[in-house]
Amino acid sequence: MSTIANIAANNQLILTSPNGTQFTNNTNIPKELAIFAIYHAAQYDGKPTTATNLSVSDFLTPMRKLIYKIHNPAINELTDVSYIMKSAKGTAMHSGMEAALEWYGGYKQEIRSEKTIDGVIVSGKFDLIDLETNTLKDLKHVSSYAYKKLMLDIEKIKDMDNSMSIKERLEYIPTYTKFQLQMSMYKWLNPELSLNPYGDIIFSLNDGGGMERYPIDNFHRFPLLLDEEIEEFVVNHLTELKQHLADGTLPLCSDAERGWKGPEFKLQRISPTNGTFTTVRGSKFTDEVKFREFCRKSARIGDVEISTPATATMCNYCSFSSICDQPL
């Protein structure tokens, strides 16, 4: 049964945002918070994405998802308000920050600029420029999981082949490259502002910094990519997109793009020391054939096999997950 049919059957509350998008509230988020979420999630002043009108964020989106967005298919499944709560809090924080900095002075904020490349309008709106140093800054209200991924990417940079293209870096160090690429594209869109060749991402973690493992409010400085590198990336991306649209093809999202984590298998056994189930040493596998081989040689009567299915975390937050047929 579709979500809409379910809603009709259960007489559930449907919330309609200012731009007409409907949401379910299946986790019973308090009504006032749900209203807050649908109100702020609708605050986007750019034009809708089409084959000839793309935003900076569209260049950070997986190609498959971007093509779905351009085709704008009818989606019967409604998004649950719980999936937009974090981004709504982020949008509200942006508005609050903008008002505070406007009052304080010394900042240029929220200017939308555009360039036309190969017949496609590419536009983007930066958060702020600190006029004291002419430095681009962008506020991110992200989870400690996203922040951890950034830390892991930074670790990998020292072993990175510097001749990698931006597209290859998006696979190798995706979180770092997306932040860097976004700010670099804003700089590329605004050559007249003569911005510094680096930019800051201001982080405000939205889930308590992972039990204070990470500082909740802090920043990271990113060297910005050269305008020529950005221009080449944009042209290549548009060429690839146009080819898919012309051929009617839909590329698969990569593992990094959909946050794919493979299945895991392990064997548990009652510990003679504390009487609870514990994982048998050496029994953890991501390959089921190897796990079965291990079980054949080492399993004992009473052992329990635990298998965790594959997951694709980003698909949970993708608006096209109900129509996407990429196998898990």
Closest distance to ligand SF4 from the beta carbon of 62 (Å): 5
Shortest distance (Å) from residue 319 CB to ligand SF4: 8
**HSE-up of residue 27 (Cα within 13 Å, Cβ side):** 10
Residue 153: CB minimum distance to ligand SF4, A? 19
User: Please, what is the minimum distance in Å from the beta carbon of residue 1 to ligand SF4?
Assistant: 21
Q: Three-class SS of residue 33?
A: helix
In contact, 204 and 216? CB cutoff 8 Å: yes
Closest CB to ligand SF4 among residues 311, 326: 326
Spatial distance between the Cα atoms of 309 and 264, rounded to a whole number of angstroms: 7
Minimum CB distance to ligand SF4, residue 258 (Å):
4
Nearer residue to ligand SF4 within complex by CB, 106 or 262:
262
* 210 or 263: CB nearest ligand SF4: 263
Contact indicator for 121, 54 with CB cutoff of 8 Å: yes
Q: Which residues bind ligand SF4 (CB under 6 A)?
A: 62, 64-65, 68, 253, 258, 312, 314-315, 318, 320-321, 324, 326
What amino acid occupies position 322? S
Backbone angles phi, psi at 104, to 5 degrees: -75, -35
**How many contiguous H segments (helices) and E segments (strands) does the chain have?**
11, 16
- Degrees (nearest 5) of the Cα angle 10, 12, 13? 170
Q: How far is the CB of 254 from ligand SF4 (least distance, A)?
A: 9
Nearest residue (CB) to ligand SF4, 63 versus 128:
63
Judged by beta carbon, residue 39 or residue 320, the one nearer ligand SF4 is: 320
Alpha-helical regions (H) of the chain:
3-10, 31-41, 63-71, 85-104, 144-157, 166-172, 174-189, 209-212, 227-247, 255-258, 288-298
Closer CB to ligand SF4, 95 or 313, in the complex = 313
